[in-house]
Amino acid sequence: MWSRLRPLHPTVCQHRSLLAKLCSTSAPSEAPVAKADPAKPTFGLVFDIDGVIARGRDVIPAAVHAFRELVDSSGNFRVPTTFVTNASNNLKYHKAEQLSEWLGLPISSDQVVMAHSPLKWFTQYHHKHVLVSGQGPVEAIALNLGFTNVCTIDSFRRQFPALDVVDHSRRTWMTVPSNASFPPIEAVVLLGEPVRWETSLQLLVDVLMSDGLPLYRVDQPPLPHLPVLACNMDLQWMAGAPMPRFGHGAFLTCLEALYRKITGHTLTYSALVGKPCEITYHYAVSKVEAQAEKAGNSNPIRHIYCIGDNVNADVFGANLYNQFLENRFTPEPVPQQRNYSLLNRDGTLKEHRSHAERCYSVLVQTGVHFGPGGERKWESDHSPRDFLPVDQRLLQPDFDCRDVHDAIQLIFEQEGFSTS
């Protein structure tokens, strides 16, 4: 069934970081708190999708049973619930429709957080001319996030037809001039893994080396290079195949390696969003609290339970966010995993200030890190490059469950919550 694991005790690092700026501020003075309604929950739920609710297009049976216990007779959620996926190839209302079909429940798009959703908070890039890589309706996704001047990889390739030569059938055999009037790219947005990796890798390296306009040969790349915003760092994910499939993290690994091999420099990110980045959990908590308010629940949401199947994304990310919650008002330097995405340039917290006090990681055995016999299988160095080396304790879940139904029962028991 499930087992309780030893609580995490993060080590104290000696280096200061951007997050320390926030944590050096004093805690807000306590205001009078309204009496809690015992019939309403003081906790919220954050669900991963792939490997927890479905594998590929096949719904995991335990998920259907679990969600029947989460809603009342009218289909309203008893507990504020958000779905957080590292998928980034669609608009969130399409994912909400898919979840509604799978679970037989009305799921609102306001309950869905895609890997790219937190980019709404990065308004300093919204008016730049951005090159967007991924698949699906990437232009519509970028515009929906607030970007106003978007160029896709396919559009960029048409402007510079001589750049894409790996596929012989797509080569331009005649000399075709590039568009010299094309406005330079000012930032790069990597939404997810593209279909044609060789095209995207070539054009992205060209753009970074040429400072946004690959019209001439470049011997020395600009330093720093253009801002790069990346979503979804999953090296692998669990679909319908027996073994995990490549994710966007695999594509990013290729891009990082090629850029370093060609330029001799390290590719740096101006923003990383999606799990395991803390800002994704912070964004999800803002949605959980909005769901509670919408349902008429005035109780502050103190505990967040994150249910996932991926140790390197779901467990690691939830534990990192819990580490942030534990240290946000601590004047001492705090443990840090390149947590530059939670803060604005002045060191203030982005957009949302939550009441959350504790984030629990719940690992289910229906996804990427479990063999047929239920044994765990994962590697710590499968975590994203910018999060290495990983404190092994941050890869240990607070709770270990067979499936999502067991996880819901465990959480209700922990919180003393009854659906009757």
pLDDT at 146: 97
Residues 6+ apart with CB under 8 A from 236: 244, 245, 246, 247, 249, 250, 368, 382
- pLDDT > 70: percent of the chain: 80
Tokens of 397: 């879940």
CATH code 3.40.50.880 for 119-272 = no
Tokens of 310: 């991926």
pLDDT tens-digit series, residues 358-377 = 999 999 998 865 554 445 55
Query: What does the domain layout of the chain look like in residue ranges?
Result: 43-48+70-114+276-330+337-415, 119-272
Q: Do 43-48+70-114+276-330+337-415 and 119-272 share a fold?
A: yes
pTM of the complete model: 0.83
Tokens of 146: 């607030």
Q: What is the mean pLDDT of residues 320-336?
A: 71
**CATH number of the domain at 43-48+70-114+276-330+337-415, please?**
3.40.50.1000
Strand-pairing partners, residue 44, are: 304
Strand-pairing partners, residue 187, are: 130
pLDDT tens-digit series, residues 329-350 = 665 544 444 444 555 554 455 5
